[in-house]
Structure 1
Amino acid sequence: MPAPLLTRCTLLCSLLLPLSGVAAELYRYVDDKGVTVLSRQGVPPEFIGKGYEVLNDQGRVLRVIPPAPTPEEFARMQADKARASSDAQLLRLYTNLDDVDRARERKLAELDAVTGVARGNLQSVRTQQANLQSQAADHERAGRQVPEHLLAQINNLKEEQKRLQRDIARYKEARTQAEAGFAADRARLAELFGEPQKKP
């Protein structure tokens, strides 16, 4: 079939398509030159991200496909989603601001308790070390060599002191973080409940 005849047939078929009883859809999009294009063939992949409209054969808009979000918009959407999830979790945990205050007091009391135990152990270890060092000094004053097991015990107690000091520092940091976390939770819940803030 000659090319001009084929073109005429294709055009005729496209014009008759709406009359055939098949619902035809048009796709309206903007190309890279800013020109609005109407097509029955769909939207080329490179333009889908810009958004497009689907029309019926009378030109009425059936569906609007919005543009893909920019990286900034996507990041904002993700942040909003994370905030909504966090808010939902807060509302499951606490029914009012007093619940936050009670949870805060419980957590801080737990951390204060373990810190107190660690400090008591540290003081005990220091006392043991002082006693052993006194024994080592007695050996030295008597002109005797300090026994190896005594030196080993002193070194072990020094290491134990370092470990306990690290534990105390960790508990202190955990307390600071807990206070900050509960303060943030309380402030957010006050916003969600529409209640004025007050210092716990």
Structure 2
Amino acid sequence: MKSVVGMLALAGLLVAAPVYANKLYRFNVDGQIVVKDYVPAEYSHLGYDVLNKQGMVIKTVAPAPTADELAQRKAEEAAKKARQDAIAEQRQKDMNLLRLYAKPKDVERARQRKADEIESYIQLQRRRITDLEEKLEKSQAQAANIERKGLEVPADIRLEIVQLQNGIRDSEDNIRNRQQELGEVTRQYADQYERVRILQVYQPGVLDDEVDLDKVDQVLAERESKAAPASK
């Protein structure tokens, strides 16, 4: 019954509208349906339907968004832009990484070379400390003998002792610094190793929240399994 009443009301409105109008506009004002041959400016933000002469809807204009909807839309657009920028930045990093390492084993070889280099330097510093400690012990013994005789230790011997002590401290600092560097390098290569593993399965630019590590493990395991017989 309501639909019949509504159709009759619309028909009445259409009859009341100017007969010369090519298009009519139907909109709702405070719960009342209004049909005119134009949309008053004060109501255009409410949205409206465009009707042809037969009263059929040929176009619908949605209501203007509210302040909250505009804020939400702006936030969504900002988030989308930020994600696109993050993907572009990650893709560039990935391409640079793949230029260095094609496979995870390449990363491991590079890590081992760097670790060996740092360890060699640390061993060199330890040998230097041993050598300096032996010289320091001799210089201190020489100075002690002179003092036991009631004589003043010559300036050159005192200077040598200070220089040897400083040299030992410098080498100890060098060792600590390189050990710290080794830890940082290990973490860096571990991150690169994992990223290259991911890039064996995913395209460059993939973000962490899109990566399924279980899938990466499964795919790489399957590839290794297929490649194993061929390598025998």
SS of equivalent residue, structure 1 residue 95: coil
* Correspondence 1:126-145 to 2 at 5 A: 126-145=133-152
Cα distance, 1:67 vs structure 2: 6.8
> Is 1:153 matched with 2:153?
no
Cα distance, 1:82 vs structure 2: 2.5
After TM superposition, the score normalised by the length of structure 1 is 0.60
Cα distance, 1:81 vs structure 2: 2.7
Q: Pick from 82, 90, 102 the counterpart of residue 95 of structure 1.
A: 102
Distance in 1 of aligned mates of 2:113 and 2:158: 42
Q: Pick from 152, 175, 183 the counterpart of residue 176 of structure 1.
A: 183
> Is 1:86 matched with 2:130?
no
Distance in 2 of aligned mates of 1:73 and 1:125: 62
> Is 1:166 matched with 2:166?
no
Distance 1:166 1:79, change over 3 A: farther
Amino acid at match of 1:149: D
Over alpha carbons, which structure has the higher Rg? 2
* Correspondence 1:178-197 to 2 at 5 A: 178-194=185-201, 195-196=216-217
Distance in 1 of aligned mates of 2:84 and 2:93: 14
Amino acid at match of 2:89: A
Distance 1:119 1:74, change over 3 A: farther
After TM superposition, the score normalised by the length of structure 2 is 0.53
Higher relative contact order (CA 8 A, sep 6+): 2
Distance in 2 of aligned mates of 1:78 and 1:90: 18
Deviation per CA, 1:112-159: give whole Å up to 9, x if none: 111111111111111111110010100111111111111111111111
Distance in 1 of aligned mates of 2:131 and 2:88: 51
Cα distance, 1:104 vs structure 2: 1.1
Amino acid at match of 1:128: K
Cα distance, 1:73 vs structure 2: 5.3
* Correspondence 1:15-94 to 2 at 5 A: 35=45, 70=78, 75-94=82-101
Distance 1:159 1:74, change over 3 A: farther
Distance 1:148 1:99, change over 3 A: same
Cα distance, 1:91 vs structure 2: 0.9
Q: Pick from 88, 106, 117 the counterpart of residue 113 of structure 2.
A: 106
Distance in 2 of aligned mates of 1:111 and 1:166: 14
TM-align CA RMSD: 2.7
% identical aligned pairs: 25
SS of equivalent residue, structure 2 residue 106: helix
* 1:119 corresponds to: 126
Distance in 1 of aligned mates of 2:114 and 2:103: 17
